Structure formats: C-alpha cells, structure tokens
Amino acid sequence: MKALLPVSPTAVRAPDVPEAPVVLGDTPEPEPHDDELVLAVEAYSVNRGETFQLDGRLDRPWPGWRPGKDVAGTVIRAAADGTGPAVGARVVAHPPASGWAERVAVPTTHTAELPDSIDVVTAAALPLAGITALRLLRAAGPVAGRRLLLTGASGGVGHYVTELAASSGAAVTAVSASAERGARLLELGAVELVTSVEQATGPYDVVLESVGGTSLRTALTRLAPGGLLVWFGQAGGAPVTLDFFDFFKGPRQARIAHFDYTLSDASYGDDLATLVRLVSAGRLHPEIGTVRDWSRTADVIAELRNRQVRGNAILTVG
C-alpha cells in the first residue's frame, strides 16, 4: 500500500531532489492485533509534534516509525476479538503512529464512531488536539469564574481550549502571534486577545503555557497568589530556564505542573466520543486552517513550521 515515509534529517540528497521530511512510497499492509481494527484512511491531521519528530528536534519513538496519529475513515476489517466498530462503520481514531497511509491498524479503544452529520475532514481535526484540550482543562481543575491565560493559542489545541473553557465560564485571555491569527479565538469566547505574553496583565488563576523560552518565565509572573501554571509544550523551540528565586518575585504559593496528555488514560475512545458528541451538538467547532490532497503533505509541514496555518491542517487520501 501507499504511505508517507519519513526521511532522515541527515539524509544526503541529489542536487535535483527538493528537501522534504516525507516521501510517498510503498510499505507492507498493516497486520492488526486481535484488539485492533483496520481503517481505510480518508483524512488525517498533521500535528506540530510530528513535525518536530520528522526534523529531529524530538526523538522518533522507535525504529521504523511512521507519522500519523489523527485519522478518520471507514472500517474495512473488524477486530478479531469482537470489540469495537463493525466493517463499514465510519470512525475517528487515534493510533499510536502510521496513520499517514492508505490503511492503518488501530486499537478499538482508540476509536469512536461518527454520525452522518460529521464528515471525515472535520473528524480528522479532533484526536490529538481535542483530547489534549479536554485533559488540559481537567488538569486545570474547575474553571468557571476563573481567569485563564493561554499562550500559543492560535493552534489546534488553543482553539479547542478557548471554546471549551469559555463555555464552562472561564474568562480566557488568548496569546497569539498576530491579531489576524487570533481573531477566531474572540469568536469562540475569549474575552481578550493579546499578541505577546508581556501584554497580558493578569493576575490569572490558571496559565496554560505551550511556547517555552521566556514565555513561561513571563507567564509565571502573571499568576494570582496560589495560581497554577500548566506547562504542556515548547512550540517556540527555545528551552525554559527558571531560577528558583523567580518564585519570590512572582505570586506567592504559585505551582507549576508538567502536562502529558498520554499519561491521563491508556484509552482515548471515551474522549473521542465526547468530542464527537460536542461537535454533533454544535457546541464545539474545529478550526480547520487548510485542507489539501495528501500529496501536498510536505508543503503543509513547511507551512506549519512557518506558522502559516491557523488551527488544524488536514490532508485527504484520494
């Protein structure tokens, strides 16, 4: 079958071969375990973390790894153990990897069935960003009536967090690199949009920080006494350096928590079903910045690296 195969960041290329992190090639058909179904992939989403793994900023999880954690399509082979959706069911899924392909094996516990009202392009925008947003807000605790600062807000996770938090009663201040990229966040319920964390005045009960570098240090000073900063990413690429004495300059009894969405639960099916229900009810609106044929995946990755895509980038498999 056809799949997008990762290219080593150190690969030697011929002068006439353009630089690209993935190439379309042939790979064996998936061999599912008893608790896995096989999905004919119709659409997938590209996540920033996958771009970091492709360019070497993050380690690839295992030899032979292929990218692809957010997919939607039709079940063509049900799980041998009798669990999960039947053949012909339309599903959204969150496999561990290898979803940028014509077909992929997925644990049935990592899937949710789709109603007719949700197309595969919308569904493919849900898994990683949506699950991360749900679990981030659980880590933050009750947000009704609380002031919340969200950095790096114009990506897929940021749009979901903004809409979910605002609908739960939080007063969300969103940080976006430009007013244009962040305009949609105001429509989704943010009470304030700023273009740098330095412009955020606070104090905030909760900070959700995903940029890294100096952004985290500055955001820490914006916390209210006893406030919580949840660190969930380093999209800016610069490492964070903190001096313990910074806490004495900032709020009293401030807390910092590291967040990893994979540690919350080994199964993603329930959260996927929640996201599907919210979208179907008109209570959650995936922000899709671009939709392309999967032959344009390398172009989309370049645009994501240059922050030219607002929200999710979706590729369709013809």
CATH number of domain containing 291: 3.90.180.10
Q: Which domain holds residue 77?
A: 2-126+286-316
Instruction: Please indicate, yes or no, if residue 78 is contained in any of the structural domains.
Output: yes
Instruction: Please indicate, yes or no, if residue 59 is contained in any of the structural domains.
Output: yes
Q: What pLDDT is recorded for position 9?
A: 63
38 and 58 in a common domain:
yes
140 and 103 in a common domain:
no
Tell me the average pLDDT of the chain: 91
pLDDT over 70, % of the chain: 93
The tokens for 156 are 């897929």
- Over residues 20-33, the pLDDT tens digits come to 789 999 999 999 99
Average pLDDT over residues 141-163: 94
The tokens for 75 are 């079940």
- Chain CA centroid to CA 187, Å: 20
Instruction: Please indicate, yes or no, if residue 90 is contained in any of the structural domains.
Output: yes
Average pLDDT over residues 238-245: 74
CA distance 26 to 99: 14
44 and 112 in a common domain:
yes
178 and 246 in a common domain:
yes
- Which of 262, 278, 294 terminates a domain? The answer is 262
- Chain CA centroid to CA 131, Å: 8
Q: What pLDDT is recorded for position 10?
A: 56
Instruction: Please indicate, yes or no, if residue 54 is contained in any of the structural domains.
Output: yes
Q: What pLDDT is recorded for position 291?
A: 97
167 and 116 in a common domain:
no
Q: What's the predicted TM-score (pTM) here? A: 0.91
Instruction: Indicate which CATH number applies to the domain containing 233.
Output: 3.40.50.720
198 and 179 in a common domain:
yes
Average pLDDT over residues 90-109: 97
Instruction: Please indicate, yes or no, if residue 170 is contained in any of the structural domains.
Output: yes
The tokens for 168 are 């739960």
Select from 235, 282, 273, 312 the least CA-distant residue to 134.
273
250 and 138 in a common domain:
yes
Whether the per-residue pLDDT at 95 is higher than 70: the answer is yes
240 and 141 in a common domain:
yes
CA distance 182 to 174: 8
Whether the per-residue pLDDT at 242 is higher than 80: the answer is no
**Which has more confidence, 243 or 43?**
43
Give residue 120's pLDDT band: very low, low, confident or very high (50, 70, 90). Answer: very high
Average pLDDT over residues 85-96: 97
The tokens for 310 are 């607002």
46 and 92 in a common domain:
yes
Q: What pLDDT is recorded for position 317?
A: 97
Whether the per-residue pLDDT at 217 is higher than 80: the answer is yes
Which string of DSSP letters, residue by residue, matches 291-308? EEEGGGHHHHHHHHHTT-
Whether the per-residue pLDDT at 203 is higher than 60: the answer is yes
78 and 153 in a common domain:
no
CA distance 302 to 117: 32
Whether the per-residue pLDDT at 13 is higher than 60: the answer is no
Instruction: Please indicate, yes or no, if residue 227 is contained in any of the structural domains.
Output: yes
147 and 120 in a common domain:
no
- Chain CA centroid to CA 84, Å: 24
Give residue 247's pLDDT band: very low, low, confident or very high (50, 70, 90). Answer: low
Instruction: Please indicate, yes or no, if residue 169 is contained in any of the structural domains.
Output: yes
CA distance 261 to 271: 11
Instruction: Please indicate, yes or no, if residue 115 is contained in any of the structural domains.
Output: yes
Q: What pLDDT is recorded for position 216?
A: 85
Q: What pLDDT is recorded for position 265?
A: 62
- Over residues 168-189, the pLDDT tens digits come to 999 999 999 899 989 999 999 9
247 and 148 in a common domain:
yes
Q: How many structural domains comprise the chain?
A: 2
